[in-house]
Structure 1
C-alpha cells in the first residue's frame, strides 16, 4: 500500500503531540523522552505487558526501591527477583528481566543505545526494544502494542485481526511511517495514551480524540467494528494436588520447573491430576520421582480456585507426613513470611492450611486450654457427688 501522504502524516503528528503535551496521566514512569532513565523505561514496559496500569504501580515502585539501577538488578539472585514479582503473573517476564540485565551489564555496561543491540537481549521483542529506544534514547523506532494497534487500525481503517500476520505487518509499517523523528518517544507515548484512555474498546470516545476528524473508521461509521473483537478460547480446567507438609508453623516448598505453570518459583510439591488419577497415589509418586521426597499422603484439608488467563485453576491441598528428611533444594515457609517467591495461588492455599491448623489446635483436648477445662470439669463433678452423699 502507498506511504502516508506527507501532509497527512505531519498533521497527525502535530495533533497527537499537542494533545499529549496538553495533559496525560501522571504515571511514575511517564517522563519526557530526553529525561528518561533507560532502565526505568524498560522496567515499566516489561511490567505493563498484559497487566493493568493500577496493578503495576505498586510493583514498579517496590521493585525500584529494591533495585534502583540496572547494575543492582544484574547482581540480584533470581529467587529474590521472583519474590518481588510474585502476584504480578507471567513470571517468565521476571526471569527474562534478570537475564537481560545481566547480559546488558556484561556486554554494554548498561542498556545500549542501539535498536539492534536491544533486540539481541533476552526478552526484548520489537515492542520493548522500540519503546526503550524511542523513549530513552530518542531513536526513531515505532511501537505497536494492543492499544496502539487499535488506534492505528481505526485511524487508517485496517481490516482484520491485529494479531494476524499481514495485518500486524501493516500496522507496524504505519507506525514506522508515523513516528516523529524529532520526538519519537513522545509520539509513541501519545499513541499509547490515546489507545488506553480515548480510543478504547468496544466504544471509542471520539468526542475527546484529537485526530477524530482524520479517522477513516469514524468517517465510515465503523469505529466500533474496527478492529474486530477477538474471540478468547475457553479456559482449560487445571487441577493440581499439592502436598502440605507442616512443621512448627511452617510448610515445605520446593522449586518448580523453569518451564510451565509458575515456572522457577516455589510451591508445595504438586502434580497435575487427570480425571482417572487417584490424588494420593499420583502425589506420592511425583514427590518421590521429581523431588526425592518420601511422603505419606493424608486427607484433603484445603482447596483454592483461581482464574488464570487460559486456565481455570484448582489447587487441592493434602496434609502429608514426611518420612525422611527433605532434599537440599527444599525449604520451609512460615505463615506471613515475606520475600518468598510464592505465587499468590499457593500463598492462598497455605493461608487456608494455617487457618485450618489453628482451628484444629484450638479444638485439641490435649492442648493446655483443654486440659484446664477437663480439670475444672472433674472438680465440679467431685463437688456434685459430695453434695449428693451428705
Structure 2
C-alpha cells in the first residue's frame, strides 16, 4: 500500500516515518466518490434503529463532514484543506506521534508541568520523551524556547509540543517565539501549538504564522469555550500535504454523525455570539476569582492565566482540596505534577460556582 512520494524533496514530508510515506490507508465505503439512490455498498442496515428518531445513524458518517469542515475553516480562518477533524485533540496528538515518530528513535518534546497526553502518546509509541521544564518566574510560568530548541536539536525530536495557553499553568507562548522556534527547527521537527484554551486568551492564534512556517501545526477543540466536550470534536490545522498523510492513517469514520450535526449547529452565527459572550464572562470571572483568592489567608500565589482556569499555590493544598470536596466542589489536584507540590487548578465556573469556591476556602468576602 506504499507508493513513491515527494517526501525526499519536501522538508515537511521528510519528517513522516519512512514506512508511511505514500501510505494509502484504508479506503472505506464513504471515501469512494460515488453517487446513487440505493446504497448497498457498506453492509449497513436498511432500517433505522427504533431509538434513532432522526434516522441518520444507520449510515456510516462522512470521514470529514463537509458542513462541519466549512464551519471550522471559517471559525479558524484557514482553508478546509488545512483541517483534520478527529475525536478531540487527543486523537490528533496520537496520530502525529504515530505518523512522525519511528519507535525507539524519534523523540517527542514537551514542557512540563503540562497536559499529560503528549507524554502518554510518546510512551505508547515507544518514542523517547524529552522534557524541558517551564520556568517559574516573577510573571508566572514560561517556556524557555532557547532551551526547547537546543534540546530538540540535541535529542532528535520530531515533534515539539507547546501548550498555549499552557495547561495547568495558564501562560501563552509569545507568537514571535513560536515563529523563531519553527524557523530554527525547519526540516528537523514539527512544532505543534496546542490552543485548546485559545479563545480565552487575548493573543491571536498561531494559525496566523503557518503561511510562513510549514512545519507549524495548531490544535484546536470545541470542548472548552464552545461547551461541546461530550461531542469530542478536535481539529488539527496543518499544511495540506501533512493533513493528507494523517488522514490516510486515521480511523475510517472518526466523526459520528450526531456529533457532527451538533458541532455544526454549535458554530452557527447565533451560537458563536453566545459563545463569545460566555468567553467574556469567563474572563471577567477569572479576574474576580484571582483577586479574591489572592487576598485569602493560606493562598501563597495565584498565577496569571489566559485560560479558563487558575493555578493556585496554597500553604496546605491537601486541606484546601478536602474542604472544597466537603462543599461539593471538585477541582484538579496538581500536587503530583512537577514543580506543583502545593498547587490546585481551579476552573472558572459561573459566578455562583465561583462564590461557592471562595466560601469553601474561607474567603474574607466574595466580590460582587
TM-score scaled to structure 1, two decimals? 0.23
Higher helix fraction: Structure 1 or Structure 2?
1
